[in-house]
Amino acid sequence: MSGVRLPRLPLPGPRRAFTPLAGAGWTFALFLLEQICAGVTEEARPGAFTDIVSRAACVVLATSILCFLMVRVYAPEGSLRDVFGFRWPGWGTTVRLPLCALAGAALRPAMSTLDDKIVARWPVDAEAVEGMQKILTHSSRVELIVAIFVVIPIARELFFRGILYGELRRSTPALSAITSSAILFAAFTFEPREIPSALLLGLAFAVMREGAGTVLAPIAGQLGFWAVDAVPFLRGADPNADVVYPTKWLAGGVAAAVVILDGLAFRRAPEEAADDYAS
């Protein structure tokens, strides 16, 4: 994007190296743990699988357990603030956060259209559609918005662009960390139809993380991305209604997102980036 050569950041002290293969293992472990939590919840309370509040609680619980284990293995002496990247980008650069939210919102029309075209070519099976209908029917609008558009996206960012990206970045160059985390984020869906858009979003959110030096940036991007759906839904729109975006909206949104991401990508001095991962 910027042509700047990216330095390899040194791994400090005896801290255990975190490889992309290790990231794949932890990602698969998170997937399995979420399924176990959902299964146990369903056994204890039949029907919980279609309750979005229970689903979100399982995501938060599984993510918390995996993150705790990763901290114990890779950063037992580190601060949680550094491990997860909870850094405020500085008062002089706080504009990065709303820009990330804007980039996320700008990408939503294109990603939604891409998903729709894939589903039109390879339709979702009736059982999956029925399951989603049950979730929409058994949950209130507020529950759906808080769980799907806020809680679950934040949990995903804390894992993929928080601890996982931070540990990858301490052991590998920026481009490797960005690419690896995006691939793992896409693979985590375990749904082939969702992988293309998830991969593109994973790359965008990882660039936000690298460019701003804080997990707050991709969290803002996620919230902006889902706000495009959440705001109309909260105002009473039908969640099952097909939304067709004009071509100029798609092109304009992608162009705006690329400009913003290019402005964020790797604009910090190498020594500033090194400080972020020297803990």
Span between the terminal Cα atoms of the chain, in Å: 28
Contacts of 83 (CB under 8 A, 6+ apart): 71, 75, 162, 163, 166, 167, 279
Residue 88 has pLDDT above 80, yes or no: no
Confidence of residue 31 (pLDDT cuts 50, 70, 90): very high
pTM, 2 dp: 0.88
pLDDT, residue 125, reads: 83
**What's the rounded Cα separation, in Å, for the pair 106 and 126?**
31
Q: Which residue has the tokens 């002290």?
A: 13
Q: How confident is the model at residue 260, as a pLDDT?
A: 92
Backbone angles phi, psi at 190, to 5 degrees: 50, 25
pLDDT at position 277 over 50: yes
Selection from 217, 215, 210, 218 nearest residue 268 by Cα: 210
- Residue 96 is predicted with a pLDDT of 87
pLDDT band at 91 (very low <50, low <70, confident <90, very high): low
Domain regions of the chain by residue span = 20-276
pLDDT (0 to 100) of residue 11: 41
More confident residue, 213 or 279: 213
Query: Scanning the structure block, which residue is given the tokens 């890779």?
Result: 74
Per-residue pLDDT tens digits for 142-176: 899 999 999 999 999 999 999 999 999 999 999 99
Burial class (CB in 10 A: 0-12, 13-18, 19+), 209: buried
Determine contact, residues 67/158, Cβ cutoff 8 Å. Answer: yes
